[in-house]
Amino acid sequence: MKIHTFHLGGVHPDENKITAEMSTQVAALPKQAIFPLSQHIGAPAKPVVQRGDKVKVGTLIAEAGGFVSAPIYSSVSGTVAKIDTSIDATGYRKPVIIINVEGDEWEENIDRTDKLEKLSDHPELTPEEIIERIKVAGVTGMGGAGFPTFIKLCPPPTAKAECVIINGVECEPYITSDYRLMMEHSDEIIEGVRLLMKAAKVDKAYIGIEDNKPKAIQLFEEKTADIQNIEIVPLAKKYPQGGEKQLVDAVIHRQVPAPPAIPVNVGAIVQNVGTAFAVYQAVMKHKPLFERYTTVTGKEIKNPGNFLVRMGTPFSQLIDSCGGLPDGDNKVLAGGPMMGKAVMSLDVPVCKGTNSITVLSGFDAHRKSIQPCIRCGKCVDACPMGLEPYLLATLSSMKEYERLEQEDVTSCISCGSCQFTCPSHRPILDNILQGKGAVMSIIKSRQKK
């Protein structure tokens, strides 16, 4: 069996998948749930509830605020306490809906049974109907970025989808929520993949899984043994294989051109395994997206684990249930150590894209002191997009935005491989992000003219 991987760059961080073999537990309900209105890429959702309104689990509390947007559903039953602002994982103060939890009453139309609903038993589901249900349920990419899923399934007229690629890579260190989901809900994921294939009108799907998860590869190969059009693709462990463009390259050996091209321009629709599961629940169980699998982990955390969490649950509650923060300095990440966001406050809630709460303690929490660039070129070697990070970082700090655009800064996927590999511990990505942001806004204002 040939093991594939992407072709340019990449690094090998220590895995630290401490929680890999820990079965998922159901997290306790929060006392108060917080729902940020922008949990996805695109326009923030618009609240449709007011202070004092009673809501149930699965009640719509905010509708999509535009085409690229997604509705938000309550994950708890109770009373809307207030519509306010609060600091989210990005560190900015953003509008939120806060609900005081009372009991656990669900909307009646949600199918809470474990019965596996097969697509083959529901011939009435047309692609349009599937996409509509995904859109209404507020399903967004579950891998972290949070792009509304239904938009990916409706490619622009210039592109034609040929296959669905399911991302079961989980290349970030520490995180195991996708792995647990794959081990515990393989049948539902496969039905979700079938739904995605039908919705995108393609008859081929690939599930890419890194070879550090041999059990998941084996399980899915058994489950798909008599399904002709779903293929399991084992991939050699390398970061950032979970990046869309890297995954497409690794699985079907096609390289997505520079932005604004997206994977569907080479025929691929990429969805996370978590998204496939959410799609199954949305379409077959009428269950909107309001809970998710999240890993709470860290070398110094006493009882790390994988949890089925209601969105809106504050980080502090999950961390306390795992034994609390270790003494000393800590860095608490929404996500993994490579691309996760360090939160400023533990009141930040779990959102649609929160695949992990990773706690780095003591030595790991701090950056090392910066030394001069020795021009070793290791960042150039590590860049999966074929860029020159050292140059982009220098140009960014010199504010040479024109040159920066010529050097393809907009292709940067912020994976952090450059900074990970830098012997001088230079803040390469910090600089590049600053420059990339400036260049993006210059491009935007140019397009407006």
The answer to the question of residue 437 lying near other proteins (CB under 8 A) is: no
The answer to whether 427 contacts other proteins (rule: CB under 8 A) is yes
Phi-psi region of 16 (alpha: psi -120 to 50; beta: other; left: phi over 0): left
SS (H, E, C) 42-74: CCCCEECCCCCCEECECCEEEECCCCCCCCEEC
CA–CA gap between residue 401 and residue 394 (Å, rounded): 11
175 touches other proteins by CB under 8 A: no
The smaller minimum CB distance to other proteins, of residues 65 and 240, is found at 240
Nearest approach in angstroms of CB 122 to other proteins is 38
From the CB of 377, what's the least distance to other proteins, in Å? 4
Nearer to other proteins, 219 or 373 (CB): 373
Among 321, 345, 397, 410, binds other proteins (CB under 8 A): 345
Instruction: Count interface residues toward other proteins (CB under 8 A).
Output: 76
Question: Does 14 interact with other proteins (rule: CB under 8 A)?
Answer: yes
Whose Cβ is closer to other proteins: residue 217's or residue 338's? 338
Query: What part of residues 358-417 is at the interface with other proteins (CB under 8 A)?
Result: 360, 364-368, 371-378, 380-381, 383-388, 390-391, 408, 411, 414-417
Q: Which is nearer to other proteins, 309 or 387 (CB)?
A: 387
Q: Report 238-257 residues binding other proteins (CB under 8 A).
A: 245, 249, 254-257
Tell which one of 179, 206, 280, 420 touches other proteins (CB under 8 A): 420
Q: How far is the CB of 65 from other proteins (least distance, A)?
A: 27
Which of the ranges 65-73, 98-106, 163-171, 344-352 carries the binding residues for other proteins, by CB under 8 A?
344-352
Amino acid at 118: K
Residue pointed to by tokens 């239904």: 150
Q: Out of 272, 330, 355, 394, name the contact with other proteins by CB under 8 A.
A: 330
Q: In what order do the strands lie in the sheet with 230-235?
A: 230-235, 205-210, 163-168, 268-272
Using alpha carbons, list the distances in angstroms from residue 140 to 95, 208, 236, 406. 19, 19, 27, 33
Restricted to residues 96-135, the positions that interact with other proteins (CB under 8 A) are none
Measure the CA–CA gap between 34 and 99, rounded to whole angstroms: 7
Region of 64-72, 186-194, 226-234, 421-429 interacting with other proteins (CB under 8 A): 421-429
Distance CA 151, CA 248 (A): 18
- CB nearer other proteins, residue 321 or residue 345: 345
Question: Are 58 and 288 spatial neighbours (Cβ–Cβ below 8 Å)?
Answer: yes
Q: Least distance to other proteins from the beta carbon of 384, Å?
A: 7
What residues between 33 and 52 interact with other proteins by CB under 8 A?
none
Binders of other proteins among residues 80 to 99 (CB under 8 A) are 91
Instruction: Pick the binder of other proteins from 17, 194, 238, 331 (CB under 8 A).
Output: 331
| Residue with Cβ nearer other proteins (28 or 344) | 344
Q: How far is CA 303 from the centre of its chain?
A: 24
Find the shortest distance in angstroms from Cβ 11 to other proteins. 6
Kindly tell me which residue out of 66, 103, 214, 328 binds other proteins, with binding defined by CB under 8 A.
328
Smallest gap from Cβ 279 to other proteins, in A, equals 28
**Minimum distance, C-beta of residue 78 to other proteins, in the bound complex (Å):** 29
Q: Does 290 bind other proteins (CB under 8 A)?
A: no
Which is closer to other proteins, CB of 204 or CB of 403? 403
β-pair type (341-342, 330-334): antiparallel
Binding residue for other proteins, selected from 175, 266, 319, 351, defined by CB under 8 A? 266
Pairing of strands 32-36, 93-101: antiparallel
- The residues, ordered by sequence, that sit 6+ positions from 165 with a Cβ below 8 Å of its Cβ are 205, 206, 207, 208, 247, 248, 251, 252, 263, 268, 269, 270, 271
**Minimum CB distance to other proteins smaller for 152 or for 426:** 426
Six-digit token string for 447: 């397009």
Which CB atom, from 137 or from 385, has the smaller least distance to other proteins? 385
- Among candidate residues 228, 241, 102, the one with its CA nearest the CA of residue 169: 241
- Closer to other proteins at the Cβ: 52 or 260? 260
Nearer to other proteins, 116 or 258 (CB): 258
Candidate list 4, 5, 10, 11; residue touching other proteins; CB under 8 A: 11
Residue 425: CB atoms within 10 A of its CB come to: 12
Give the burial class of 408: count Cβ atoms within 10 A of its Cβ; 0-12 exposed, 13-18 middle, 19 or more buried.
middle
Residue type, 371: Q
* Main-chain phi, psi angles of 152, to 5 degrees: -60, -30
Q: What is the CA radius of gyration of the chain?
A: 21
Contact status, residue 227 vs residue 205, Cβ threshold 8 Å:
no
